[in-house]
Structure 1
Amino acid sequence: MPAVKPYERDYFRNPETYTYEYFYNNVLNTNKNTVAEALGIADEELLTYYNLKLDPDNNRFFFRLDPYNKRNYQELEYFTFTNLQNVIKERIDDTISDKILDDISQFNYALIFLNQSFSNTETTYLFKKISNIISLDYSVIRDVLGRFPLNSLFFSIDLFAVLNANKKLYDFFDKLLLPESQLKYLANKPFMHLNMWPHQIMALEEWLKADKKGILEMATATGKTVIGLAAISHLAQFNDNLRVLVLTHSRAILNQWRREAIDKLGIVADPDLDYNSSLFREGNFRIEFNTLQTVYKYPHLYETDLLIVDEVHHGAGKEYREALNVPCKWKMGLSATITGKGEGKNVLYSHIGKTCFKFGLSDACKKGVIPEFKLFIHKTYLAPIEDREFKDISKKIINMFDYINSTSSKRIRELSEGKFSRFDSISDFISLVKKCNYNGKRIPEEWLKLQGLIFKRRPIIHKSSPKIENAIKLAKNVGSKKKCVLFAMNIDTCENIYKALNGDINAYIVHSDLNERQKENSMREFRNCSEGVLIAPKILDEGIDIPDADVGINVSSAKTELQLVQRMGRILRKSPGKKPIFHHFVALPHTFIDSEDSFSYLNDLAWIYDITTKMGIDAQMYDPNNPEILKLEKQSEKFAYDYYFKNKKIISNDFGTINMRYIVQSISEEPKQKLIDLLDGIHGFISDSMWLKLLREAHEKQNIHENIKMVDLPNHRWLLIISGRNPRKLKEFLESYE
């Protein structure tokens, strides 16, 4: 006799409580709960049902409805989709027909199947690779992943909406419907899912023409690593058994290579392990990482197919040049520059091959890859579209979060298997709910209500622009004297800004709702004017020639890639002796939730500082003394500081894991020691500008180009925040991790 499942004992005693009617009247009834709370509960129950359909022999599921009465779940689906119509209307600019609802249901079920068959990591990499295949900018999917868990109905609807808006829905859907074996192969196959820059494509082509041997001389921050990974991707398409060895002199650089390979090639592996852990997939494909100092002793033991030597000029030294004798078919050397004409250069040429491609600093500046301009950061507030609703939801989240923490410590400890008895952040809460769902543990109803409120609030934030009054005021001032390109969040925001500007100054607008003639006219008029503002949500993706400009303004609240700044460098005018200006808005909600918004806001700032320090751009605060913003920023930093010292890491749905050990270990030994020495002379708190000055001074020997202050140290601002801006604690961190 089969074992009785967890929910069946209660079902046999009280079958009437497992009907949809009972569930609606006693749980979902929107007279008792908000729509968001009811949807949070309904979403969880539907997910449990879908999981049962995919895995009918699994006994871990706990149901609130009779799962063998299909009508119960048809009614629940109808309730969910009916109440989600307002959400769908906001996200999908289309008539909500039965076909749309049916398409969303099928799309959701396809994603549920995907989540049942693949790990979250595999699913994420699969999304990246499908995006590349169908020519979709992956950032639109990444933004959705930052808002909702993969297995929620809210995620399905938001993803459906953004794919539909980008006219890629059915291309994406078709790939999801491939046989599981093909999806599994695609998810695990090393595959470059990044759109390369023209100079990177040219570099790879020149290396391939040179019989897959030779040195690429490329300036810092021009993407040398990407070319090496692209070579791996290219060769792996023809050889499932490809073996790769990456060599360099620095362990920190090798760890970075390993993380980049995982991210850019979509290899399922733990990015937090160090370079001693090889990357591999089914078959004999393998990427190994090692130092010149180790390999030079016995190079014949490290036979490989492709040898990549980063910072290859270090291999010219008499001690380490033997490492270049590793037996291999193909060789690639990477370096900012190969100097001199003597023995060292001859050694490199004889072992790796001659220089087959050069892309120097002047080339990078001319092409806008390393743009030369000033960047101002504007700290402002978001302008939520439904402000009253937003404030009400925020207040309910704070109250319910506090209530759960104060009344459910025993339940939290039980469900977290003794790891903690209260939630320190919203991310902790979401992670535990997700884990409970996967393991078939019953989730308290209040928790599901809170989850529904959180999911309702997030899209309001993400579809909101930073307060555009400031941007409009700035654009009026600048646009009356110069040519300016303004990036907005969406078409509606574009139209609102256009209406506010038109009549006062020359204003032009370009977006996908306009026909080709209208777009061409706007672009032509802007190209021919001497001053004015061009407004667009995705001007760089319109596939049209972009006129030059003097000023760029970005008021899109969605995070854009490093490519935004690089592309802006192509657009902005490079007049002799004059640096163009780029204004970037970083926003936070007026109704602030410490445990939800602190990490996101701080990471927005950390992200833009990563970009500017890597590219040697000076970032300045536009209004550094706004008292209200400063208060919330200090509040955010204190929350992050306290959280880290309790949990030893920061985990967020928005940006992954922040761990001090990995940030410190990514600093090369000489700059790290110099930074420690510099901190000895610092007293009092460290400001942002002082921190950047210290970083650049510590790395000055690594910058071979005069007046270029590039520092490639991801997440470096978190180092400052988590040390509490205290030089003594910062020094302790630097000395603690080798």
Structure 2
Amino acid sequence: MPRSPKLKFDRGTLILHPPPKGKAWLDYATWDDRIEKFRIPAIHYRPLVEALQADDKKIVDEAREFYDLEFKAISNFEPYPHQAEALQAWKQSGRQGVVVLPTAAGKTYLAQLAMEATPRTTLIVVPTLDLMHQWYAQIEKAFPNIEVGLLGGGARDRTPILIATYNSAAIHAETLGNRYALQIFDECHHLPTDFFKVIAEYAIAPYRLGLTATPERSDGTHRHLDTLIGKIIYRKTPEELSGGTLADHKIVQMRVKLSDDEQAEYNSAIATRNKFLRDSNISLGSLQGWQLFIQASARSSQGRKAMLAHRQAKEISQGTDAKLRVLTDLITQHDTERILIFTNDNATVYRISQQFLIPAITYQTAVKERHNILTSFKAGEYKTLVASHVLNEGVDVPDARIAIILSGTGSTREYIQRLGRVLRKGNSTNKQAILYEVVTENTSEERTSERRHGEQESSKYRQLELVPPAKPKPKKKQQFKAAEKPTEWNKDE
């Protein structure tokens, strides 16, 4: 009597032996001469099993080690309409896909709903240690009857629900791949990189959920999310949720001018940079162009001079004294409110911190100090914080009503993340959040601002122009059918 084909998991791949009759599985398999057996990428587990089932082929499935759980959630919160809609869209997509929601829209609670609807062992992947501990606290509280563990920051648990950083999950992808039926990727735009994507590729997880505010990546690799997790199956913008789930908000763009001396210094630096770019036939209109500029700047003294000129121009436009005068006015105007100030560089963060006696948070801030600052901010002991990029993602920031962007990158993701920091309603029912964006005219900052939210959106923004005094001091420097319950993956007897 012929042996039944067996499917086994082997370090991020599947081995199917002896080969079953028929051709349904051949599209996924590659012959491995080393072991003289067929090997299949683990990510194809679900379509492979579906193809074999459709062809009425019986196999012994020894690949999976995931199993059912019995969740006893203690949360009785009624989901917001967009959360219920997103969950239903995910179910209808065979419990695979990406949900795009703005910061503060309740992505963590949506993940809890998905876990309740798919009671299986679950791996949750997050980008930072801060987020790992935040998810741990919320999931442990939501499901007290299930053991929750951590992978990252020195922890290496083996639990039914595991919360891991992208780095640690990638390192251990070969051993994690068959233990979890559901994978949840927080801030899933991090996944499509050569190092991180193995978390999904080496996993047999039949159910996958991606969460992000902005899935698009400048390198175009976000298209791989369709294969790694699933297509975008639900999407809402901050504007669509404003006044409902999120606070009403308005965006005020404030334009300032450089002083005559600053403008002359800026123009001279830009001219030096542009001459080198022309001579080197380099355009900065793309990511590749910027990379070429970096490479060229390291090969000659003229290149180094051009890069220094570029940085000088950037420092002038981002750190002009006119911006600090505007900042003074805004802090005075909103002196009773919690205010978050964002800049693009740490030097300006520390300058503002010293000049205004405001607590600062950068990547250099120790964990305990950052925790103490945020706790004091939440308690109202501090009314204002200034930070660079560290509060964009992965940090639980207390409710604030005012955000001020003094400088930033052209990243839409960064812009939405910073806006999201003031969109939580908190305990206020009629909260009106305001995002001030301070832009220096006649500099590259204008184009950077346009990239952040697009020229076509400009009509949505209230613009103010502020002119500096005449002589300011210059500054130097395959799919399941929709179902309420997931398909049972029973081993063939």
TM-score by length of 1: 0.29
Structure ID, larger Rg: 1
Question: Which has more strand, going by share of residues?
Answer: 2
TM-score by length of 2: 0.41
Question: Which has more helix, going by share of residues?
Answer: 1
Of structures 1 and 2, the one with the larger relative CO (CA 8 A, separation 6+) is 2
